[in-house]
Structure 1
Amino acid sequence: MTVQDTLQDRVAIVTGAAQGIGRATALRLAAEGAVVTCADIRDCAETVALADKEGGRAAAVELDVRRAADWERAVTAVVAEHGRIDLLANVAGVVNLLSPDTVVDLTEDAWQVVIDTDLKGVWLGMRAVIPQMVAGGGGRIVNISSMAALRGLPNLASYSAAKAGVVGLTQQAAFEYAEQGILVNAIAPGTIDTPILAEITDEMREANANAHLIRRLGRPEEIAAMAAYLFREGGFQTGQTVPVDGGWAAKGNF
């Protein structure tokens, strides 16, 4: 795909689009003129309505990123409707809510839920979409990793492993498909104020905010802005994991 100044009429799939970073990314792409398929295991009707209200073009599809058949169905439908897929944002993710998330106390069931969603889901998405991008002459993919992939953090064993896997998979796919015009990058957010944090205490919220040099939580729209940049201007960037972390990486500790 050549360098472009606009996302007008680009065909995009965004996973996890029912809320949080996924919703913000879908809305940002739609606002910039992309034709966006909002994919989630949850209902994306509200995201689609918000995009439509601002004059964007969006549609919803039910998609469990852990299931290859769901990916095949979604990709087939998008290509049948629009003829191609230009952009993929792999945003859908979960944290472990089933057990403690330390190496010793983590259960196999909890491990599998996180790995299947946060890592296998990214792989299945790329596996389903890349052949369509190759056929269309190129495309761009943005995967959501995490600062937990780059820093040791408490009680995030399965999440850290999955998100580190996303970094490695991003690098490998970028290497493998660059000659086909496909650019693959990842974003490593700091702590972002999404529904995942709804149940944390005020003390935990403050501690997470203070982990950043910019002493606040990030906003989903700030991650969406980086995704839009990579989809739009990032024509000489591939295989990279870009921190959008309020200075957390520079600070160097939790």
Structure 2
Amino acid sequence: MPLANTAIVTGAAQGIGRATAERLAADGLHVACADIQDTERTVKSIEAAGGSAEGVTLDIRSARDWSSAVDGLLERHGPIGYLANVAGVVNMISEDSVVGLTEEAWDHVIDTDLKGPWLGMRAVIPGMIDNGGGRIVNISSLAALRGLPNLASYSAAKGGVAALTRQAAFEYADRNILVNAIAPGTIDTPILGDITPEMKQANANSHLIRRLGRPEEIASMVAYFFREGSFLTGLTYAVDGGWSAKGNF
């Protein structure tokens, strides 16, 4: 049975989320562009290119928002075949070391970067089971695989995403639901907007391919997992310009 043609992409207002929404629409899916921010630019870009999309206001930390979003999509378009959990934050509230973290900062990052993907999977998996299957991709991070400075809460959250991905893959593989994660290196997105050119270059130099990644390069891996990766589940795949292959930093 073919999968349903509707995909949810969180964080679709900008960066990796926007690139993913645009790529999936170009591949023929109807894309629900979900974000706490306005996704009108993403939707218009997709429609201008001949694709099908709609904006969905969604705070991924809210179970109520997830329920409302999924129920609305089911009513308008039928079953949901795909979920890309892209939305995430870094700690901008406090220092992000084990000692320097505040509870407020910890809760904000964990609620967004780990609880959010869990709520998303919880919202869509029952319908995927009823419809004969689905594909889910969660965005983890290289910080889940390597120790990196001043990223304690972020590393914990993204490590949790990788672990949750493996567990969900195990739990639902026999229901034709494949669940994978991507661990990006440093990607040139608006989240880097406030750093200096020197810091950007230092991040670029961390990769064997000595540049920053592009959002569309992560989007292409999401598309691969969704459309081609029919014998892949439970992976956390590094799309990191070779960073994880280095013996040192």
In which range does the TM-score fall when normalised by the shorter chain? over 0.9
151-160 or 244-253: bigger deviation: 244-253
CA distance in 1, matches of 2:112, 2:57: 15
Which AA in structure 2 matches 1:182?
I
Where does residue 57 of structure 1 map in the other structure? 52
Distance in 2 of aligned mates of 1:59 and 1:252: 44
Structure 2 partner of 1:129 = 124
The Cα of 1:14 is off from its aligned counterpart by: 0.2
Q: Counterpart of 2:99?
A: 104
CA deviation string 1:150-170 (max 9, x = no partner): 000000000000000000000
For structure 2, list consecutive stretches of 5 or more residues without a partner in the other structure. Answer: none
Cα deviation for residue 88 of structure 1 reads 0.2
Distance 1:132 1:252, change over 3 A: farther
Corresponding residue for 2:182?
Answer: 187
Measure the CA separation in 2 of the matches of 1:183 and 1:33: 20
1:164 aligns with 2:159: yes
Q: Does 1:250 align with 2:245?
A: yes
Cα-Cα RMSD:
1.0
Give the aligned residue type for 1:153. L
Q: CA deviation at 1:10?
A: 1.6
Counterpart residue identity of residue 134, structure 2: G
**Residue in structure 2 matching 1:201, options 196, 204, 208:** 196
2:236 is the alignment partner of 1:241:
yes
CA contact (8 A) 1:149 1:164 kept: yes
Q: Equivalent residues in 2 for 1:50-89 (5 A)? A: 50-89=45-84
Aligned twin of 1:94: 89
Q: State the distance in 1 between where 2:211 and 2:71 align.
A: 41
Give the Å deviation of 1:251: 1.1
Unaligned runs of 5+ in 1: none
Give, as a single letter, the amino acid of the residue that structure 1 aligns with 2:61: R
Give how far 1:253 is off: 2.9
Q: Aligned residue for 2:115?
A: 120
Aligned to 2:23: 28
If the length of structure 2 is used for normalisation, what is the TM-score?
A: 0.98
> Partners of 1:160 and 1:203 in 2: how far apart?
24
1:211–1:253 CA contact under 8 A, matched in 2: no
Q: 1:252 to 1:75 in 2, by over 3 A?
A: farther
Asked if 1:37 is matched to 2:18, the reply is no
Runs of 4+ in 1 over 4 A off after TM superposition: none
Amino acid at match of 1:49: K
CA deviation string 1:156-193 (max 9, x = no partner) = 00000000000000000000001111000000000000
Q: Residue 138 of structure 2 is aligned with which of 122, 140, 143?
A: 143
Partner of 1:13: 8
